[in-house]
Amino acid sequence: MDEICARYASVMTRIEDAARASGRKPAAVRLVAVSKFHPPAALARLADCGQRDFGESRAQEGSTKIATLSDPALEWHFLGPLQRNKARLIAGRFHWLHSLESLETADTLSRHLATLNARLRVLIEVNVTADPRKHGVAPTDLLPFLEAYSAHPRIGLDLVGLMTIAPHGGSESVVRKAFAHLRELACASRQAFGLPGFDELSMGMSDDYHWAIAEGATLVRVGRALFGERPATPATEAQAP
């Protein structure tokens, strides 16, 4: 087994162990391989190992990889902050958006999706730690945001849950508190608005995804533990093997 498949097997084992330890089924947790800056060949190799979900945070780079790999079995997740002028690159290419924080962006995405007759699963990013360096809706603004969002339908958008990023390098108690806060916000949102299918929690990365699973994560975003250290600049490789 080569290195990338060995890493994949190790991560999957840890996901399964963390799920079972918290009384959950391993199948309830989806691994998103964060592939920003990594070349298409690395993604293709990981797909050969069995991985199906890939996460990108740059619209143009991600769109190029989707076209290069051209595998309908793969699902693509957009993870980074999304500018309205990049919405056209997301619609019809990506299957998931983890970082909605603007009603205007939702409207723009909906217009593109309607034109393409396409759909996009959407999670609202919440800045649970009020970190000024992070994106996302403030916890106190989440219910007003959902009230405004729910005021009228947006064609093509399926609102399915919440996403957050925990404090980098925080202790287990600090990190788990942030994840638990997101879970509680999702529960409050479902109760307030009766949102169908609002069950996804995107939280946890290479250093803390096992804690996120213990707190209810359904999507964990893992990059370094799968691919190794991220290159400093985007991959220039144009074709997968």
Let me know the angle formed at the C-alpha of 216 by 211 and 222, rounded to the nearest 5 degrees.
Answer: 55
How far is the C-alpha of 74 from the C-alpha of 163, rounded, in Å?
21
Residue 57 dihedral angles phi and psi, to the nearest 5°: -125, 10
Confidence tier at 79 by pLDDT (50, 70, 90): very high
106-164 per-position pLDDT tens digit:
999 999 999 999 999 999 999 999 988 899 999 999 999 999 999 998 999 999 999 99
205-227 per-position pLDDT tens digit:
999 999 999 999 999 999 999 99
Residues written for the chain: 241
146-158 per-position pLDDT tens digit:
999 999 989 999 9
Kindly tell me the sign of the dihedral angle through the C-alpha atoms of 134, 36, 24, 163.
positive
Task: Identify which of 36, 69, 76, 71 has the alpha carbon closest to the alpha carbon of residue 53.
Answer: 76
Let me know the angle formed at the C-alpha of 126 by 121 and 179, rounded to the nearest 5 degrees.
Answer: 100
